[in-house]
Structure 1
């Protein structure tokens, strides 16, 4: 019999950026629309604010993801360069260090040394990057990928409540936009959880709760500072 396991940790980088972008797009744009509607703004102003929020939000998400993940990537590359220099200057100490790591994980001293010697003979730097620094082979920082997924998914998420506002009744936007956005958020949370192998119900409830909370607060602000229609 063959034993096959479907792991999903390799999806963490793009999945996190995609879910964050789509969630932020739905919540921020829906909240913006609801806040303006609660303030009795006209439909044209509401849609203009929503489109402006979509463009600004997508660019902000892309820039923010790129900068933050680039910082992570810079740190990883600096650590790798330091590890490479250490291997060039004191190979034996690095071998002992790796053996100590494996011994701490449960191997006896002799076996830990043999494993360290075998791995370092095959790929010394790779072994230390994985087991000393702690950077997995399939999970290094990718700034461009994170920026792209965040911008695209934010735009898609933001377009959904905008479309509902455009097609909905001009004088009664709050309820349809809020209801549709919460449905979108629940679906997003469930799909993201499924992609990550987690509970779909938990994922759906988590994003729906915080989305509803954000919309409620924005509606209250709009009502508080609203204008007479």
Structure 2
């Protein structure tokens, strides 16, 4: 057996029935849309991009249409609140795609993700030279549809979200395509403590 990775993820407690019925939990695009409500149209393009790019690195099951994101430490995991549970998982390392949650904000906001500080300064200068104040305007602002080459450049930059430059429990997240029943080490309900990262959990 390969290396196992401890992950933590808070999910709606309705997933408990899915886990019992199917032996696995998968996410659906509609669930993500429901989570965001009225602002969903602003963010779904970014989530769809993430799903497509992540699937190139780790093929997803055909019935999966959205990712499941996990914390790599209990110290950066959302605590269970009413209507939710936290799944403590041990997942095979080859089933996890790591990404930088700080960089993800650039994707979510549909702006250029610079390679480094020098690149950020150069891109800022580039925008000024073409008279654009914010690269988001290429997607939703007054320049929408006018600069396809700029949109392509921004989309290409987003791939850097999968590059981990600095590994901390607060910026690194793990993406998985499903939660299999055999990966669940503990289910934490509201009011219960999430076990520490190094705790041995009886299966």
TM over 0.5: no
Indicate the structure whose relative CO is greater, using CA pairs within 8 Å and at least 6 residues apart. Answer: 1
Compute the TM-score of the two structures, normalised by the length of structure 1. 0.22
The structure richer in helix per residue is 1
Question: Which entry has the higher C-alpha Rg, 1 or 2?
Answer: 1
